[in-house]
Chains A and B, each alone.
Chain A
Amino acid sequence: MFCRRIQQIVFYLLLFLLTAIQLDLRAQTAGVRPVISGKVINAYGYPLKGVNVRIKGGHGRSISDQQGVFTIEASASEVLEFSFPGYNIETVKPKAHKKLTIKLYQTFLPFLDSVRTGTDSLDSFEQRMFPFAYPVPGIYDEERSFTSLGAVSTIYTNQLTTTPASLYAYALPGRLAGLKADQVSGWRTNLDDESITTPGLLFSSPTSNGVVSTTDNTEIGLSLRGQSPLTIVDGVQRNIYALDPETIASISVQKDAMSTILLGQQSSRGAIVIKTRRPEAGPPHISFTAQNGWQSPLGLPKALPSYQYAYMMNEALANVGQDPRYTAADIQAYRDGSDPTGHPNVDWQRQILDKSSLLTRYSLNVSGGSERARYIVGLNYMDQQGMFKEGAPNTYSTKLELKRYEVNTKIDVDVTKEFNLSLQIFGRIEDATQPGAGYSEILSKMFTTPNNAYPVYNPDGSFGGTNTYTTNLYSLLGNSGVILNNNKDLMANVDMTYKLDRFVKGFWFKGKANVSVLTATAINRSENALVYKMNVDNGDTTYAKYGSLLDQQNNFSINSSGQYWFYQGALGFTRAYGKNNLDAEALFDQQQTIFNFDLPSKYTNFSTKLKYDYDRKYLFEAAVNEGGYNRFSPGHQFGLFYAGAVGWNMAEEKFIKENFPWINQFKWRVDYGHTGNANVGYFVWRPSFNTTSGVYTFGNSGTGANGVIESPLINADATWEKANKLNMGADISLFGNKLQLTADVYTDKYYDLMWQQYQPAIIGNTYPSENIGSIRYFGTEFSATYQNHLGGFNYFVTANASFSGNKIIDIRELKQPYPWTKRTGHSTSAIYGYIAEGFIETQQEAEAQANMSGYTVQPGDIKLKDINNDHVIDQFDQVNLSGDKPIFFYGLTTGFSYKGFNISVLVQGVGNRQIVLNDARYIEFSGYPGQGQLYKQHLGRWTPETSATATFPRLTNFGLNINNDATSTFWLHSGNYMRIKNVDVGYVLPYRWTSRLRLADVRIFVNGQNLITFFGVDGVDPESYGSGYPTQRVINTGITIKL
């Protein structure tokens, strides 16, 4: 069957070649200029109207009509060039007597509306360009880029779909100036071990049990100008990061005060704004994509084989004055593998990890409708498998896996000419499974179990183990039962727009209502299996069992439940008086969140916004917001926030227009604002008491009596955190929009930050957080884009770079005895620790060395510097190791498309970054006290013989050596790295073939994520470098069919 298909393909290929040659011959013989006619279509096969057709290097020009049809006189040797705003240039040599079909594709990078060529008047320019131009997204509305005054970076669908991942957040690193995105884990934190407790991270509403809320992104850490940004999907704040990238029209980051001021008491944080695609009128556009990726883990450390482990364990024991644990015969047996049961050597990573695991995704999008009513429907399915093996023997799947089903529909109806109504429904089901022991538990055991711990199987087929290792790693995969996590999300949006021109010209009304619910539940069907240790005693083989047998559980729990309401009404006025353009708006909205059993958290905003420009040359914008949050004490809930911006479109000045026609846009902009952030605990202003149960036992019954406990001290004056933000920037477009540059400089002073000051404990209760912190964040951001074409070879390069730093102005620090122990004046991300001065080489050196209390150094230990010369190593010897340099991060995307072929490459990296590598994977024997694992780097340990070349301190105390394990420059590494983050290669099958199958477009592609990393430390991933789930490299193949 497959063979026949190949035969067919070869046949068609030959046929194609033959006809091509024939046509060519024929064309050359023709002497006159024949009339060429043809049709221009888009990817879906629908006609494109208004396409510019011209003969390259010659005269003659034509424009396609309503049906996409054009005719032009051209000889066979001439080249026809097809151009259309927002689309790649296509060149074709016409073939006589052949009806041409030209297909145009949208450019990889968006087409922005900042071009003003030569003598175009503004109106005709707008008319001509706006239907194709990409707008600049705002949190609720959209703007034209030449009047936009905000510091906003945006990416569009194309830059998202090349990333093979479970979340769109994976596509963000390196693409948006100002947004730092780090992949901290390769797998989501399952909701059963949810532990997000940072107040103010999500809804500023920590509940009584400390849990705040839930987000579906625990893999990518996002930081926007030093803040944790809000996520706004289609105008509604929801932390949804798992949307099908094909349904997303744009993702933008809103960085300055003006752009976010309408968020009132959440305006300090900046926002990530997601706009999903709008329905387009026309016959159904159907697009189907199927893709399959192979994920493989990165940055796994290399474990030592048993014989080396045993030898080094003996060495470590000798170092702390204990007897050796292994005899020479033991070590020999480990080495030659003669006794795999008694002296095992198990490479646990190979034993329990799959070489590659699958990531499968399907999506189907349909859009269309009449001019009056349009629709879009998106269906999406994803199946991501974890890196663990299935395990054996089991009769049902216990694999780490995440399945997701999504539906996103929008209907957009023009009820009357004035009234537009739009309805959106988004639904999502996530079903996840993991082995009953929990994947993080298995992972941490994998990192800490030595190769010689126990055999996988005993000779009798039972699982191996010992009285120390009472579980068997391989057995945990298949025999610990299963935990199922099921999440359900439903969101419904109604939007309406009513133009009130009938009553007063220029007036309009907009309304929005959103309801959404979320539940996350878990079914725990885990169990504990026993392990056995084989003993041979006088020829008798016996098996001792270890571990505790636990019957399979069957528990159900609701981990979180959320209900969200959002409604918004806006009355606006948009009108032009000559060259004066005015846009005014009054806005009311309220967002209410009920998370689990908490009382509602309610944000209320009253805003007024005014936008004015003169001839699109002088731009002004201002907004005032009266924003409230109901968790502050009554009467102290509303605050006033404001922002203003001015801009000057220099390129519109006559002088520039006449003398520098190649400058298309040159806009200066400055904005300043006063923003807020409600970061307050749960009713911290209210004194109260709580019942506690079983606090103390009286009598002989053994049951605890109830108690009553005073709640923490109150902060009656708690108020919102504030920031004064200043942003200055310029947007420049040159050479017919081929080169676009944007630069921003900002300095944001945050004050009244919620901070828990250390206060004397003699008061007998916990102090509340108070509005006392003050930190300045500052930085610069650049981005440059160049796109052009050489004939039909369309290429682009876009790059961005950001510096982001901060300085603590005041945190009411405790009085510090030494200047180097102060935190004030330094960056919040500074790492404090000791200065390591190599290893201690001799006994005399050891005796002269200052010690930590409770530890006496010996030769081979790390020599820590006694900064204050008091002959004790303590926290007064800790200094800022990393410095306060602003972090630098950058990304560069480049690529081209030619004929049906296209490539894009993203290179991304971070500079000025330091990391400390001293967790369980780097310190010897950590994990199980006294018997953890050893890795390759431990081979370089200090011994008297190797003291000159040692790269690691002497092996000691089983992961508890306070001197060597302390954070010091020994463990500090440059965290700078560069990654070939993403590569996408695609090919569109020739239309001639696909049209026969009645397919408009068939694209096959291969793409990859995290392909090559340049990083200074071996065997470590620069982002997820702890003991968490490793980052994955993904190689993905797929096909997109459009019809």
Chain B
Amino acid sequence: MILIVSFVTFTVLSSCSKTWEDEPLERFTDEYVWDVHDSLGQKAGDFLNQIYSYLPQGFTRLDGNYLDAATDDAISSQPGGAVEVMASGGISPFNNPDDNWGKMYTGIRAASLFINNIDKVPLSIKLPDGRSMRPVWKAEARFLRAFFYFELMKRYGGVPLMGDKVLQSDDNVQIPRSSFKRTVDYIVQQCELAIDSLRPDPVDMINLGRATKVAAMALKARTLLYAASPLYNGENIAAGDSLSGYIDKDPERWHNAAVAAGDIINLGVYSLDADFRDVFITAGNSETIFARNAGDYHQMEDDNSPIGYSGTSAYANGRTSPTEELVDAFPMANGLPITDINSGYDSTNPYFQRDPRLYYTVFCNGTDWLGRPVETFNDGLDRPGTDKVQTLTGYYAKKFMGKFETSTSYANEHQTFIYFRYAEVLLNYAEAENEYEGPVGSVYTAIESVRQRAGLNPYKLPADLNKDQMRAIIHNERRIEMAFEEQRYWDIRRWKIADSVMNQPFHGIEIIRSSSGALTYTIVPVFSPRFTAPYQYLYPISYNEVASNEQMKQNPGWK
């Protein structure tokens, strides 16, 4: 009897209808992503969104610091962090805070997966001009993939080009690096493929943040500019090494770069915004070509405002300390550099009548903020000398912040990290054309328009500049116009000036306020960077990547 009961129980137990699925069906498969019945391409569209997320982060991405804190423009207020490692030449195959290798290849894989599969989806949606969305989406993925390769190229030189292949774990991944030339050619070719299919400019407000035709043109222009630069074009750090640069020198490359930038100017779609500050805080302005779109927030204010404003309604962590070198790079409002005898610069009142961009870029002592002047004199509210992390240079970074001079607290602002804006296109053009043709009229026009918008008066440059003088002006203009936009870090490399710039001490200012309120300014060294040429001009490929791939060649000088 008992036996029967137990057998019955047993049978019942084992023959119950299934409560649970055999596989976790919420984790859908590729048929669901590339749905052959979905004319809206819901999941495929989401997949494309994901590719955008692999775009590199900008702003205060390195322990709360700008990448520019690893250049002569700024230092980190807090010693010992990631950017200090970078500024002291501490990058190694084992430690690279700005590696991005894995993330970029993740993006490249996703883009290739999308390009290979999107044709399965019967998309019926169309652009306002009647074009089908499928080639548009495909071109977006293609553009993003080129962007990822560009990010790799500027760090490492030539890298493995994966083409459209999407490999699985049992495939052979021992893939060698392509030459620098092939890498550049691939990026340019992919951009050209994308340009005609992408959305027209300017993009409508709803699709803000999506890649457009001019975005691809700008990527191509910047790629060609980098490729024409001394580091790769003729001054390769290891002569004859095709991975780290061109093995020859060809001035025509400057021409290609100038033409690519000129094409954008000639298109006439974009223009400089009247107010320098609005470029960074207004959505859909006339200058921004492509940016990492984001919601409205006040992260920049929280990270970088002078520390004396914390404890009220605001966070103010003063993470980045701009250097005296950056402040001195800004001319007077009359357009003359402060070293010019006629400039009117007064070292006992150094922030008087300077380039307005200085006031938008750096908090100097006396700059108005949240209803009071910034106090970076010793024992001032923003440099109290206490335990707290505070400026090491007497300056705080201000760029990208809202117009809160007289407010009582921060409001949310549209803060997007801009990858390409029209001012850069002008500067790219000026630089390339000056290198190729010399200081011709179009070079003057391009650079003067940037100076004019900045509010310099007069903005005109002397008419008799030679090529070298013009180059110095363009380099300086790039530095101050695009400070904290992750340009200078790469510029000092491609111009091959990092070994001189990054091997001398950076300075800050020490301001003493007497009891009468008079201020005395002393320039003091604050940080000694280090840069070892030539091998540090390119990043090392991470050790594991080289060790696990027999075909992978390390960059010259790294082991």
Contact = CB atoms under 8 A, between A and B. Distances in A.
Interface string B377-406: 000000001111100000000000000000
A325 B94 CA distance: 35
B33 A699 contact: no
Contact of B49 (A496, A707, A768, A958): A707
Contacts of A467: 310-311, 386, 388
Interface in B271-308: 283-284, 293-296
A416 B20 CA distance: 39
B260 to A, nearest CB: 27
Interface in A669-721: 682-683, 686-692, 695-711, 713-715
Contacts of B210: 698
Interface in B20-40: 20-24, 27-30, 32-33
Contacts of B92: 853-854, 874
A419 interface: yes
B526 to A, nearest CB: 10
A761 B207 contact: no
B215 to A, nearest CB: 14
Contact of B13 (A567, A688, A960): A567
B85 interface: yes
Interface string B96-134: 000001100111111001000000000000000000000
Interface string B189-226: 00000000000000001111110000000000000000
Interface stretch (B166-174, B237-245, B432-440): B166-174
Contacts of A815: 547
Interface stretch (B2-10, B475-483, B487-495): B2-10
B46 A706 contact: yes
Contact of B167 (A686, A690, A705, A763): A763
Interface in A929-962: 929-931, 957-958, 960
A277 interface: no
Nearest to A313: B387
A874 B175 CA distance: 27
Nearest to A565: B13
A509 B50 contact: no
Given A498-B3, A600-B20, A764-B105, A707 B50 contact: yes
User: Secondary structure at chain A's binding surface: helix, strand, loop or mixed?
Assistant: loop
Contact of B108 (A498, A764, A854): A764
A580 interface: no
Contacts of A125: none
Contacts of B105: 761-764
B160 A705 contact: no
Contacts of B545: 760-762
Contacts of A764: 105-110, 162, 166-167
Contacts of A496: 2, 6
B21 A759 contact: no
Scoring B52, B80, B88, B296 by chain A CB atoms within 10 A of each residue's CB, the highest score goes to B80
A848 interface: no
B388 A758 contact: no
A854 to B, nearest CB: 2
A987 interface: no
Interface string A565-586: 0010100000000000000000
Contact of A708 (B50, B84, B91): B50
A544 interface: yes
A466 interface: yes
**Which one of A320, A468, A689, A958 has the highest number of Cβ atoms from chain B below 10 Å of its Cβ?**
A689
A929 B27 contact: no
Contacts of B205: 699-700
B47 interface: yes
Interface in A744-783: 758-765, 767-768
B47 A875 contact: no
Contacts of A701: 295
A758 B547 contact: yes
What is the predominant secondary structure among interface residues of chain B facing chain A?
Answer: loop
Contact of A699 (B10, B102, B209, B544): B209
A853 B173 contact: no
B14 to A, nearest CB: 9
Interface string B416-437: 0000000000000000000000
B58 interface: no
Contacts of B171: 763
A546 interface: yes
A682 B387 CA distance: 48
B71 to A, nearest CB: 16
A466 B168 CA distance: 55
Given A691-B46, A758-B547, A697 B294 contact: yes
A814 B552 CA distance: 14
A419 B85 CA distance: 76
Interface residues of A, number: 74
Given A761-B105, A764-B106, A699 B206 contact: yes
B138 interface: no
Contacts of B173: 759-760, 762-763
A767 B208 CA distance: 35
User: For the side of the interface on B, what is the size category?
Assistant: 35 or more
Contacts of B547: 758, 814-815
Given A569-B6, A600-B20, A930-B389, A688 B29 contact: yes
B266 interface: no
Contact of B209 (A688, A697, A761): A697
B387 A690 contact: no
A695 B53 contact: yes
Contact of B23 (A545, A686, A692): A686
B78 interface: yes
Contacts of B43: 689, 708
A635 interface: no
A466 B22 CA distance: 57
B281 to A, nearest CB: 12
B344 interface: no
Contacts of B3: 498, 509
A782 B32 CA distance: 60
Contacts of B284: 700
Given A695-B49, A695-B53, A764-B110, A689 B311 contact: no
A660 interface: no
Nearest to B84: A854
Contacts of B50: 692, 695-696, 707-709
B357 interface: no
B387 A468 contact: yes
B46 A544 contact: no
Contacts of A957: 79-80
B49 A705 contact: yes
Interface string A69-105: 0000000000000000000000000000000000000
A933 to B, nearest CB: 13
B29 A466 contact: no
A975 interface: no
Nearest to A768: B169
Contacts of A703: 295
A768 B85 CA distance: 32
Nearest to B167: A763
B455 interface: no
Contact of A683 (B13, B23, B207): B23
21 contacts: A323-B385, A599-B22, A682-B24, A689-B28, A695-B50, A695-B53, A696-B293, A698-B293, A701-B295, A702-B295, A705-B46, A706-B46, A706-B49, A708-B49, A762-B175, A762-B549, A763-B109, A814-B548, A854-B90, A854-B92, A870-B559
Interface of B: 2-3, 6, 10, 13, 20-24, 27-30, 32-33, 43, 46-47, 49-50, 52-53, 55, 78-80, 84-85, 88-92, 94-95, 101-102, 105-110, 113, 160, 162, 166-169, 171, 173-175, 205-210, 283-284, 293-296, 310-311, 385-389, 414, 543-545, 547-549, 552, 559
Given A762-B105, A762-B549, A855-B88, 11 more contacts: A467-B388, A511-B6, A544-B311, A567-B13, A691-B46, A759-B173, A763-B169, A764-B109, A764-B167, A765-B109, A814-B547
